[in-house]
């Protein structure tokens, strides 16, 4: 049972580039979320989904897009990377109780 798989683990982008952070879960969880973790800020919710085809914005959605075409996958797209998006990104999934987190993606935008 793989749980929540995030790829890549590390990424360096140049300002203005776009990329997609992948997230997949094999637990048939309805709820999936993307968080970013910055020093002193804790985990902040970017976007979340309550099921295939349903997404909504979290606390810090600007500069990010998501889609949920299947139950398993919830990719996060950075449209035009900015240095302020340098962070560690976590994907998480749940059936409505405790969340299972992926191992994180460390993104640096230069």
> Residues 91, 101: contact at Cβ < 8 Å?
yes
Lookup: tokens for 105: 């993606």
Provide the mask over 2-41, with x wherever binding to another protein is found by CB under 8 A and - wherever it is not. -----------------------------x-x-x----xx
Q: What angle do CA 87, 109, 17 make, to 5 degrees?
A: 125
CB of 17 to another protein, least distance (A): 26
CA–CA dist 94, 81 (Å, integer): 28
Task: Give the range of 20-28, 61-69, 76-84, 93-101 binding another protein by CB under 8 A.
Answer: 93-101
Verify binding: residue 84, another protein, rule CB under 8 A. Answer: no
Vertex 34 angle, CA 48 and 60, to 5°: 80
Which residue's CB is nearer to another protein, number 85 or number 94?
94
**1 near another protein (CB under 8 A):** no
**Rounded to the nearest 5°, which phi and psi values hold at 32?**
-135, 145
Q: Is 43 in the site for another protein (CB under 8 A)?
A: yes
Residues 33 and 26: their CA atoms lie apart, in Å, by 15
What is the contact surface with another protein in residues (CB under 8 A)?
A: 31, 33, 35, 40-45, 48-50, 56, 58-59, 90, 92, 94, 96-104
């Amino acid at each position: 049972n793989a749980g929540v798989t995030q790829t890549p683990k590390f990424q360096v982008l140049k300002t203005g580039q776009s990329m997609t952070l992948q997230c997949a879960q094999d637990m048939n969880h309805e709820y999936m979320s993307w968080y970013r973790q910055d020093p002193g800020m804790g985990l902040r919710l970017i976007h979340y989904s309550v099921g295939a085809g349903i997404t909504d914005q979290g606390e810090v959605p600007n500069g990010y897009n998501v889609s949920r075409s299947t139950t398993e996958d919830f990719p996060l797209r950075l449209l035009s990377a900015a240095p302020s998006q340098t962070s560690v990104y976590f994907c998480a999934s749940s059936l409505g109780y405790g969340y299972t987190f992926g191992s994180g993606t460390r993104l640096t935008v230069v």
